[in-house]
Amino acid sequence: MYELMMKDVRSAFATGKTRTYEWRISQLKAIMRCLQENSDKINEVLFKDLHKHSLESVVMEANMCVSEAIDCINNLKDWMKPEKVSKPALYMMDTAYIQSEPYGVALIIGAWNYPIQLTLLPLIGAIAAGNCVVLKPSEVSAASAQFLQDYLPKYVDNDCIKVVNGAVPETTALLKEKFDFIMYTGNSFVARIVMEAASKHLTPVLLELGGKSPAYVDKGTDMEVVARRLCWGKFANAGQTCVAPDYVMCQKDMQDELIKNLKATIEAFYTADPKSSDSFGRIVNEKHFQRVQKLKKGAEVAVGGGDVEEEKYIAPTVLRDVKLTDPVMQDEIFGPLLPIMPVQDHAEAIKIINDRDKPLSLYVFSNNKSLIQEFRLGTSSGAFLVNDTVVHGGLNTLPFGGVGNSGMGRYHGKHSFDSFSHQKAVLEKSLALDSVNQLRYPPYSDTKLGW
C-alpha cells in the first residue's frame, strides 16, 4: 500500500540532503512558520477535537513546538559536531570520537490527546537529527490530523517529510514497511504491536506510553497550593494527559482537608458549574466517555456529578476512600477523575508504587528531605517531581520518557536529537609507525606476551 511512497522517501534520503546542516535548519524554520502563521487554525482544530481553550492550545501545544524548534536551531551546529572521547595511552596517536548520524527514514505515530505537540515535537527531533520522516497523526483527533495533512506539506520538503492519515488499517500497512527508526506515542497494548512489527526488520523503537502516575501528599504541606497543582495537572485537557497525576495517596486523617481544598480549587478554576467554563475540556469521543464512566462504578464521589453524555462532558471529579481493588485503580484513567486512596504512611505508598507497573511520572508533595529521598531512590518511574505535577515536560534539558510499561527511550531537546541519531564510533589512525603494532600481529609467541 505504501511501497511507492517508501521508495520515494528512501531515494530522497539517499540524495544526502537531509544530512546537511542547511536542510535541517530550513525544515525547522518551516515548521515554526507553519505553527506561527496558522495559530488561529490550530486553536480551532484543537477546540473541535478536545474543546481546548486557546491558552492551553498555545502554551501546551504550539508554543512548546516553537520553543523546541528554536532550541534545535540554536544548538544544532554543536550537536552535529563530532564528540571527542577520552583515550588510554595505547590510542594516544589516534583520533577517537562519536559522530551522530541520521538513522534514515523514521516513522512517527502520534497520539490524539496533544495532537499537535505529540506529532510535531518528535518531527522536530527527527529532522534535527537529519532523518526523512513519515508522520502518522492519530485518527482519533480528526480535525488536528486533517490540519497536519493539509498545512504541513505547504511548508516542509515534501520529498522527505510525508504525512499519512488513516486509522488502524493504514497504521498496520505502514508497519509492514521497513523503517530505520519508529517512534510511537500511545498505549502499551499498541506499543507491543509496533515493537513486534519493528522486530521483523530489527528497527529500533522509541515508545512513549502511559500508565498510572501516582501522587503522594505528605503531612504538613500547604494544602491550598498542593490542591492547585494537583487540579491543574489532573484536569487540564479534561485529564487526558499522559503525565496527569492518576491517583493520590495520603494518610487517612488528611483526606477531608485535601478534599476540601480540591473542591475549592475546582470551583476557583472552573466555577461551580464546570460545564459552562471554557477553561475545561471534553472527552475526545464516545468510546472514551463510556470507558471513563465505567471506572467510576462503585466509587464514592466527593466532588463532581452532572456528566452529560451528548456533550462528552465529565465533571472534574474527586473520589474518596478508594481501594486498590476498585475499578478506578485497575487501569490508567485518562479522564477527569481524581481518586484519593488513603494509606497508613509513606512506606505503604512506596510499596504500592513498587508493586505496580513503573509509572511515567511520580509526584511527591512534601517538605521532608529524607522522605523525598526515600521515594526518589526507592522507586522507579520515567520522571520524579517534587511539589508539582506535569511541568517537567516543559523543561527540555530533562529527558522525557517512561520506563518499563510506561515506555522506552527519551526525547525533548538534545535528548530527541540523540534518540533519532545513531552514535557512530569513529577511530582515525595513521598508517605510519606500524612497528608499534608488531605485538598484535601473528605469528604469536610467548615472547610477545613477555613470558
Under 8 Å between Cβ of 66 and 33 = no
Q: Minimal CB distance to ligand NAD: which residue?
A: 210
Helix (H, G, I), strand (E, B) or coil at 132: strand
Residue 199 Cα to chain centre, angstroms: 22
Query: Which residue's CB is nearer to ligand NAD, number 274 or number 393?
Result: 393
Helix (H, G, I), strand (E, B) or coil at 424: strand
Query: Which residue's CB is nearer to ligand NAD, number 210 or number 413?
Result: 210
DSSP assignments along 48-95, one per residue: HHH---HHHHIIIIIHHHHHHHHHHHHHHHHHHS-EE----GGGTTSE
Output the smallest distance, CB 234 to ligand NAD, in A.
13
Output the smallest distance, CB 356 to ligand NAD, in A.
15
Query: Which residue's CB is nearer to ligand NAD, number 24 or number 414?
Result: 414
Number of Cα atoms under 13 Å in the Cβ half of residue 197: 19
Output the smallest distance, CB 424 to ligand NAD, in A.
28
Output the smallest distance, CB 9 to ligand NAD, in A.
18
| Among 177, 208, 257, 267, the one annotated catalytic | 208
The β-bridge partners of 97 are: 84, 426
CB burial of residue 238 (10 Å; 0-12, 13-18, 19+): buried
Output the smallest distance, CB 178 to ligand NAD, in A.
16
Helix (H, G, I), strand (E, B) or coil at 276: helix
Helix (H, G, I), strand (E, B) or coil at 412: coil
DSSP 19: G
208 is catalytic: yes
Query: Which residue's CB is nearer to ligand NAD, number 242 or number 292?
Result: 242
CA-CA distance, 437 to 14, in Å (whole number)? Answer: 38
Q: Contact residues for ligand NAD (CB under 6 A)?
A: 109-113, 118, 136, 138-140, 167-168, 171-172, 185-187, 190, 193, 208-210, 242, 332, 334, 360, 402, 407
Q: What angle is formed at CA 296 by the lines to CA 271 and CA 255, rounded to 5 degrees?
A: 65
CA-CA distance, 86 to 80, in Å (whole number)? Answer: 19
Question: Who contacts 46 (Cβ-Cβ below 8 Å, separation ≥6)?
Answer: 52, 56, 57, 61, 115, 116, 143, 144
Query: Which residue's CB is nearer to ligand NAD, number 128 or number 197?
Result: 197
Query: Which residue's CB is nearer to ligand NAD, number 223 or number 235?
Result: 235
Query: Which residue's CB is nearer to ligand NAD, number 113 or number 144?
Result: 113
| C-beta neighbour count of 308 within 10 angstroms | 12
CA-CA distance, 259 to 255, in Å (whole number)? Answer: 6
Question: Who contacts 137 (Cβ-Cβ below 8 Å, separation ≥6)?
Answer: 110, 115, 119, 144, 145, 148, 149, 163, 165
Query: Which residue's CB is nearer to ligand NAD, number 317 or number 361?
Result: 361
| C-beta neighbour count of 298 within 10 angstroms | 12
Output the smallest distance, CB 245 to ligand NAD, in A.
12
Output the smallest distance, CB 35 to ligand NAD, in A.
19
Output the smallest distance, CB 358 to ligand NAD, in A.
12
CA-CA distance, 433 to 76, in Å (whole number)? Answer: 37
Active site amino acids: 208
